[in-house]
């Protein structure tokens, strides 16, 4: 089903105060966004912390550059991966998607990690099959 009718995603490598990755999923006219300190897991069953951040404008699908010192998120931003995704489930506490990127392929799940605090999620690469 991957194709031009599927929503888009982008993963930015972001060199701000600390190096991290930003996962952005097109949803309802904006990019729902998470900061993922260790990047998206690439091995099935692996889980990484994902911190929900503010939604970003759709223009961020193409954004690369340097955010100036003194501005929120100051630092270099590059596109690490991009593509489309198939939304399988989008609920308040659980999101399931199949990513079709250059680097990331397959099913990913985001689940709220309430014990860790507000805005804390886990992102995991689902096992195949």
Q: ∠ CA 25-30-35 to the nearest 5 degrees?
A: 45
Residue boundaries of the structural domains of the chain: 8-125
Q: What is the pTM of this model?
A: 0.90
Digit-coded pLDDT (tens) for 48-63:
999 999 999 999 999 9
Q: Write down the pLDDT at residue 88.
A: 97
Q: Model confidence over 12-30: pLDDT tens digits?
A: 999 988 899 999 999 999 9
Write the pLDDT tens digit of every residue in 63-107: 998 888 888 778 899 999 999 999 999 999 999 999 999 999 999
Q: Which residue has the tokens 């951040």?
A: 53
Instruction: Decide if 48 contacts 61 (C-beta within 8 A).
Output: no
Closest CA to 123 of 103, 112, 109, 113: 109
């Amino acid at each position: 089903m991957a194709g031009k009718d599927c929503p888009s995603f982008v993963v930015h490598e972001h060199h701000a105060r600390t190096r991290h990755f930003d996962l952005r999923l097109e949803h309802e006219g904006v990019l729902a966004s998470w900061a993922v300190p260790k990047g998206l897991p690439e091995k099935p069953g692996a889980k990484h912390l994902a911190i929900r951040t503010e939604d970003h404008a759709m223009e961020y699908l193409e954004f690369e550059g340097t955010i100036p010192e003194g501005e929120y998120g100051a630092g270099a931003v590059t596109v690490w991966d991009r593509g489309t995704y198939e939304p399988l489930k989008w609920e308040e506490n659980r999101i399931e998607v199949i990513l079709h990127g250059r680097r990331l392929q397959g099913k990913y799940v985001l689940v709220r990690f309430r014990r860790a605090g507000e805005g804390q999620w886990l992102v995991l690469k689902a096992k195949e099959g």
